[in-house]
Amino acid sequence: MFESLTPDEKATAIGVDEEFWSRIVNFGGISYLSSVTQRILSVEFLVIRDNWMNYDNEKCMEQYFCLMRAKSSGAIINRDTTNLFITFLIPKCHSKFNYLSQFGYLQPMNPTSGGIISEETLSKAISEFQAFAGLNITGDIDEETYKLMTLPRCGVKDKVGPGFGRSKRYALQGSRWRVKKLSYKISKYPRNLPQHKVDAELNKAFKVWSEYTDLVFVQKKSGQVHIEIRFEKGEHGDGDPFDGPGGTLAHAYFPVYGGDAHFDDAEQWTIDSFRGTNLFQVAAHEFGHSLGLSHSDVKSALMAPFYRGYEPYFRLDEDDIQGIQALYGTKTSNNGGVPSGPKPTTTASPSEEDSELCTNSKVDTMFNSAEGHMYVFKGDRYWRLTSDGVAVGYPKLISHSWKGLPGNIDAAFTYKNGKTYFFKGSKYWRYVGKKMDGDYPKEISEGFTGIPDNIDTVTVWTGNGKLYFYKGSKFWRFDPSQKPPVKNTYPKLISNWEGLPDNLDASIVYRGYTYFFKGDAYYRFNDRMFSVDVADPAFPRSTAYWWFGCRSANKGTLGNSMNRWHNSQCNGNECLWFPENSINTFLNDGDFFIPDSVDGDNNDVGDIILDAGEDTVFGVSNTWLLRT
């Protein structure tokens, strides 16, 4: 049925082990628009059914290679069959099949058996991955799913045994150490970091877990230990080879299998840097596996499988704490652990509501300090936030704590050098802790060339460690290591940050996400997907309720956000959809009217819903509102 395949001399190589191949016989009615791609070094076959080929592999081919469209009837089995069907080996689609197998969503397939993967089985596996990752469940490798599959991640399976369908968010593999004092040694160090620095980072990673338990970790240089740590490349003797830069970063074994942890030495391991891959964070995650924790489906948890970039103010998530304490109990003694950050409050009663913040939750700026505290500035006063609201004893005067700093600050951020910068009007101030660092204020044009005066907010984005300044409808990227620090392609429109409004008030990074604030509402921005996060309730949410502990505030979605922007429905104009039963929705200020394309009255009279500068509550159901 097959002719021998020979390389197409006119084809262009698209990868180290991929080429275009073209000489394939006619399969009786199956038409090809172009060549078939075959992975030369692989001996595996992606065996699929016709229906899945039609709706999924076709999409995969169109999206990534535009190679072919094929239609057939019946099952697509293997190349040795005498029937009129074929096995296709499509590298990108095939890699996603391997991904689902590697991380526990599909049973590995025997390439010589000719076994069939049904549409139902494959769709179920994709759906399980999407559900675990918090994506829209489509059963199809759509663009969002594909992007997530390409992210660097841990090599341990997500789906481990029957506990995958758990009721708790954290996951326990089922085994744990029976002793509280555990030893470890680093048998093989990474090629690009000094050994003493690696020792310090891994010691810090273990202390992430000893901070909340009575576990004690002791490093040994030789001899038998509980946990052995190695930095390896490619195949390294455990049957689970590393894949080079990106992809799988590391893997570790649960206690029942020995607890050892292996790191891919092809990665650029770094310390306290946005460049490369942060050793401390990855090690802390892997040691969670060494202690018995599986992957969590909580995105903000350390035990989530995906690497989310360097976090200067790393804190262990409540989900991780509950998981490790379910295995080893709560901490009863002081074992000298170094805190990984402010400890989340789990049992304390909610703090008293702050009348000023609860009445009007619009703020001037928010920022993380180098010490790990989170501050809110408003007017001439400031508050410190805790995990359940506002710390006791606040507000306080800004001028009493940061000598020489005025009130009504526009924006603030703490950089990786540990210094905090404050902006107001055309000037900025720099502090180390709460002490002014030199002769300030200075002109923004002097220290931040290319950045305008009177900015709205600024953030150090976790995606690349660079500074982003926002003003009105525009933003600027500032990179102090480049000359000029702002490229001539800036400013750009804030609308590039999908789902964010213009005229922001504040922003802050917290547990792997960037949060943006406007008025009395906030948006959680998913830095991996580069869009406002999808959640229930939807964003924006009430800053008063979720950040300031105001239990009397609205818990659900606020303002223009019950709704998503659907420009295509309103002839390219900006419009809002209010879903069914969204009665008494609170609207922020702006002008809206019902377009004639929706209400069909051919008359805009009476269609004005909200006047600019006002806030109101009104009932609406199944209505499109157009911004004027």
As annotated, the active-site residues are 286
User: Would you say 285 is a known binding-site residue?
Assistant: yes
End-to-end CA distance of the chain: 64
Q: Residue 79 has which token pair? A: 């190349």
On whether 236 is known to bind a ligand per the annotation, the reply is: yes
Quick check: helix, strand or coil at residue 445? helix
Bridge partners of residue 460, in order along the sequence = 467
Q: Is 154 annotated as a binding residue?
A: yes
Maximal CA-CA distance, the chain = 85
Is 238 marked as binding a ligand?
A: yes
Inter-residue contact 193 to 228 (CB < 8 Å):
no
Structure tokens, 5: 């395949």
Q: CA 539 to CA 518: how far, in whole Å?
A: 12
Among positive and negative, which fits the CA dihedral 233, 234, 240, 244? Answer: positive
Contact by Cβ (8 Å): 525, 513 = yes
- Cis peptide preceding 395, ω within 30 of 0: yes
Question: Is 196 annotated in some ligand binding site?
Answer: no
Q: Which residue has the tokens 């913040």?
A: 357
Which amino acid, 124? Answer: K
Q: Helix axis angle, 195-210 relative to 279-290, nearest 10°? A: 50
Give CA 109 to chain center in angstroms. 31
Which residues contact residue 488 at a Cβ distance below 8 angstroms, ignoring those fewer than 6 apart?
A: none
Residue type for position 460? V
Q: Is-cis flag, bond preceding 342, omega within 30? A: no
Nearest alpha-carbon partner for 252 in 280, 281, 294? 294
Residue 86 contacts residue 79 (beta carbons within 8 Å)? yes
Tell me the one-letter amino acid at 239: G
Question: Rounded to an integer, what distance in angstroms lies between the CA atom of residue 423 and that of residue 365?
Answer: 10
Minimal CA–CA distance to 461: which of 409, 512, 529? 512
3-state DSSP assignment of residue 188: strand
505 has binding-site annotation: yes
State residue 49 phi and psi, 5-degree precision: -90, 160
Count Cα atoms within 13 angstroms, Cβ side, for 448: 25
Closest Cα partner for 499 from 478, 513, 479?
Answer: 513
Q: Is 283 annotated as a binding residue?
A: no
Cα–Cα dist 211/330, whole Å: 10
Asked whether the CA dihedral 464, 467, 471, 476 is positive or negative, the reply is negative
Rounded Cα distance between 194 and 191, Å, is 8
> According to the annotation, is 303 in a ligand binding site?
yes
400 is in an annotated binding site: no
The torsion angles phi and psi of 420, rounded to 5 degrees, stand at -105, 135
The encoded tokens of residue 523 equal: 């948006």
- Tell me the torsion sign for CA atoms 539, 542, 545, 547: positive
- Is 289 marked within a binding site? yes
**Known binder of ligand: residue 11?**
no
29 is in an annotated binding site: no
Amino acid found at 502: D
Q: Show binding-site residues.
A: 154, 236, 238, 243-244, 251, 258, 260, 262, 264-265, 267, 285, 289, 295, 303, 410, 412, 505
Binding site feature residues for Zn(2+)? 154, 236, 238, 251, 262, 285, 289, 295, 303
Residues annotated within a binding site for Ca(2+): 243-244, 258, 260, 264-265, 267, 410, 412, 505
